[in-house]
């Protein structure tokens, strides 16, 4: 897995977490914790870089999902997005974004 794929994973989760207008501290902490537990190459610099790129971009969740080619990473990304967005209570708009991500995943699996 490349650093760019890992950044895309972070950006997908940020899309879901930020759909309600803000990425809360609880969501950020959960993102950081889960990524650190899963990936040895993950560090704070990479995390901050991915979030900065996310906030500076006008890409949509589908754009980031397209960059995730590894099946295991796509599954982890969905878990990451759902768990981190739920860290402060899943808002309806976050739920809609998460549903979009799951539909994209399902479509790729059946293609």
CATH code of the domain covering residue 41 = 1.10.3680
SS3 4: helix
Segment 31-45, tens digit of pLDDT? 999 999 999 889 999
Q: Flag whether pLDDT at 62 surpasses 70.
A: yes
pTM: 0.90
Torsion of CA 12, 71, 82, 67, to 10 degrees: 10
Q: Which residue has the tokens 């991915």?
A: 50
> 46 burial class (0-12, 13-18, 19+ CB within 10 angstroms)?
middle
Quote the pLDDT of residue 91: 80
Report how far residue 29's alpha carbon sits from residue 104's, in angstroms, rounded to the nearest whole number.
26
Question: For the chain, what is the domain count?
Answer: 1
Quote the pLDDT of residue 111: 64
Expressed as residue numbers, the domain containing 24 is 3-109
């Amino acid at each position: 897995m490349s650093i760019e794929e890992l950044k895309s994973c972070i950006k997908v989760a940020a899309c879901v977490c930020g759909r309600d207008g803000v990425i809360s501290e609880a969501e950020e902490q959960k993102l950081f914790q889960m990524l650190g537990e899963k990936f040895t190459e993950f560090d704070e610099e990479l995390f901050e870089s991915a979030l900065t790129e996310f906030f500076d971009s006008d890409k949509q969740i589908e754009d980031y999902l397209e960059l995730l080619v590894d099946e295991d990473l796509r599954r982890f990304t969905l878990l990451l997005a759902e768990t981190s967005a739920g860290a402060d209570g899943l808002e309806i708009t976050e739920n809609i974004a998460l549903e979009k991500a799951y539909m994209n995943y399902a479509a790729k699996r059946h293609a």
